[in-house]
Structure 1
Amino acid sequence: MIDIGKFNYLRILQKTDVGILLTDGETEVMMPYNHAPKVAEPGDLINVFTFLNKEGKIIATNQTPYATVGEFAFLEVTDESEDGAYLDLGIDKDVYVPKRDQKRPMKKGESYVVYVYLDESNGRMLASSRVSDYVEDKNFEFEEGDEVSLLISEETDLGFNAIINERYIGLLYHNEVFDDVQPGDIRKGWIKKIRVEGKIDLTLQPTGYGHILDTKDVLLAELKKYNGVIPLGDKSSPEEIYERFKISKKAYRKSIGGLYKDRLITVSDYEIRLVQED
């Protein structure tokens, strides 16, 4: 069975006047010559992406789309109408977003994070910017502190929503984001907290005691490199700390607190100093 909107391994049957005829053993599919690899002979097994054309026929292409069915992607609007919008899928076939699937009205030239799916009524590919409708809210395959992949989906009053590992959704709070973050960005993140109701808090900085130990080593190395002084203390701004070490102020204070308890540094409002050995 051929999966529409996904990659399929199909065998070449023959070359025709209009293209190359492929099959999965049951269904025959046409691949136009402008969508075909330069070297293709009958009997070859090739991996191709399949979609339905305007006539409802299955077409194969060796072009690589930005997303396949079941995936999220950040796509640009190529055209809009009263009924919906067309997004650039990276191949010679745009994906359609009906009005009902637009969380906010889509504008030509703008880009949005969407989920690509199949219309059950006709098998055509569609997309939706209502991404929260297509994520799971239980059976999480991670724990607090785990590293995850994030696709920033949109900015909200609280922060930035992000798709986690292509399956879940979580939130990066504004007051914990010190870098330039934009919808469409793919970032490495960490699970900060899994709430009882299933909500997930995210962070762009590693968490846990192991990370604090690593940061302590980094700070000691920096202190030795810069004559025993780092001009960042208890009252330094989160932005200054993040700009230099790419960690939150909370993580920085935990690390310098550990160094202070080990009697390796002294801490003041706006700097830390390496304790000189006698």
Structure 2
Amino acid sequence: MILLGERQILKVVRFATIGAYLGDEDDQVLLPKKYVPSTLCIDDEIDVFIYRDSKDRLVATTEKPKLTLGTIALLKVSQITDIGAFMDWGLEKDLLLPFREQTIKVEEGNEYMVGLYIDKSDRLCATMHTYEILSGESPYDVDDMVEGMIYSIKKDVGIFVAVDRRYHGMLPISEALRIYKRGDMIKARVVEKDEEGKLKLSLRLKPLEQIDKDSYTILKEIEKQGGFLALNDSSEPDEIRKQLSMSKKSFKKGLGRLLREEKVELKEDGISLKKL
């Protein structure tokens, strides 16, 4: 089956002067000659993306678009016309973002977060309604490590993350250790999966693993500072966050580990490496 808007591996059925036809005896799509590798033979399989060309014909390409069906990405507006905005998605033919799919007025040269969908005319288009594009049917479960792209930030709710650019994820605002922006990629741990399959994320590892990591971070920073770090239990949370990118609670737990292991000692104005 030829799947519009998706990458798939198809078999070469026959060759023609204009390129290679891929698929099977009943369902075929053209891979234009300029994309056909010189070593390609009948019955070979090739990884392609399926879309429509400038004449609205279904075609295959070996080029990799920045967006596939069911995913979201940050794309730049290349042109604004009377039917909508055209966006650069890495293929010869730009992707249309219709006016009805725009949640804000877009400007040429700026980047916007969009998803890909098939419209009523069976054409691929972009939409700014990204939340509706994402799926809750992720293969991940609690404690899995995932990677995703931030697509929305609501200070009173959380940081919304498209895991694998395809699945619903949310990072609580309290987890943010720095200023994030749309398009940023993050690695996180799944801490909860609700009935709809949406993932609640955390930047922290499992408790013991996180303490290991935090104590290591503190120790390395002390070494980097020449054996002394001007932080202690009374340091302000913002100062700890600025120097170590961790919360005061995490700092105290990591420091506690180092003190128990007798690797550091507390001074009145900070922490120093313990002399052997």
TM-score by length of 1: 0.79
Aligned residue number for residue 81 of structure 2? 81
Unaligned runs of 5+ in 1: none
Matches within 5 A, 1:57-68: 57-68=57-68
Distance verdict in 2 for CA 1:28–1:100, change over 3 Å: same
Do 2:13 and 2:24's aligned partners in 1 also have CA atoms closer than 8 Å? Answer: no
On the 8 A contact 1:135/1:169 being kept in 2, the answer is no
Q: Which amino acid aligns with 1:153?
A: Y
With over 3 angstroms needed to count, the CA separation of the structure-2 counterparts of 1:169 and 1:267, relative to structure 1, is same
Question: Given that residues 67 and 89 in structure 1 are in contact (C-alpha distance below 8 angstroms), is that contact kept between their aligned partners in structure 2?
Answer: yes
Q: Name 1:53's counterpart in structure 2.
A: 53
Q: Residue 148 of structure 2 aligns with which residue?
A: 150
Query: Does residue 14 in structure 1 map to residue 15 in structure 2?
Result: yes
Residues 241 and 97 of structure 1, relative CA distance in 2, 3 Å threshold: same
> Are the counterparts in 2 of residues 234 and 269 from structure 1 also a CA contact under 8 Å?
no
Residue range with higher mean Cα deviation, 49-58 or 34-43:
34-43
Q: Is the 8 A contact 1:162 1:172 kept in 2?
A: no
Tell me the secondary structure at the aligned position of residue 209 of structure 2. Answer: helix
CA RMSD of aligned residues (A): 3.4
Partner of 1:102: 102
- Greater Cα shift, 42-51 or 3-12: 42-51
| 1:245-264 equivalent positions in 2, closer than 5 A | 245-260=244-259
Q: Which residue of 1 aligns with 2:207?
A: 208
Please give the per-residue CA displacement for 1:48-82, whole angstroms capped at 9, x wherever unaligned: 22112354421111211112212222211112235
Question: Does the Cα contact within 8 Å between 2:169 and 2:201 map onto a contact in 1?
Answer: no
Aligned to 2:32: 32
User: Does the 8 A contact of 2:147 with 2:188 survive in 1?
Assistant: yes
- Number of aligned residue pairs: 273
SS in 1 for 2:252: helix
User: Partners in 1 of 2:196 and 2:233 — Cα distance?
Assistant: 35
The alignment partner of 2:50 has SS state of strand
Is this contact kept in 2: 1:15–1:42, CA < 8 A? no
**Shift of the alpha carbon at 1:11?**
0.8
Asked if structure 1 preserves the Cα contact closer than 8 Å seen for 2:13 and 2:25, the reply is no
1:196, 1:250 → 2: CA distance?
Answer: 31
Q: Is the 8 A contact 1:132 1:169 kept in 2?
A: no
Question: CA contact under 8 A between 1:152 and 1:182: conserved in structure 2?
Answer: yes
Q: Distance in 2 between matches of 1:138 and 1:67?
A: 19
After TM superposition, give the deviation of residue 214 of structure 1 in Å: 3.5
Distance 1:139 1:178, change over 3 A: closer
Bigger shift: residues 160-169 or 41-50: 41-50
Alignment of 1:184-223 (within 5 A): 184-191=183-190, 202-220=201-219, 223=222
TM superposition shift of 1:91: 1.1
Residue type at the aligned position of 2:75: L
In the alignment, structure 2 segments of 5+ residues that lack a partner are none
Q: Structure 1 CA distance, aligned partners of 2:50 and 2:268?
A: 62
Contact preservation (8 Å) 1:2, 1:24: no
Distance 1:178 1:20, change over 3 A: same
Q: What residue in structure 2 maps to residue 126 of structure 1? A: 125
Identity percentage over the alignment? 26
The superposition leaves residues 118-141 of structure 1 with CA deviations (integer Å, 9 ceiling, x where unpaired) of 23x332212222221133458883
Give the Cα separation in 2 of the matches to 1:193 and 1:106: 35
Partners of 2:270 and 2:122 in 1: CA distance: 62
Mapped partners of 1:28, 1:198: distance in 2: 36
User: Offset of 1:170 from its aligned partner?
Assistant: 0.8
3-state SS, counterpart of residue 30 of structure 2? strand
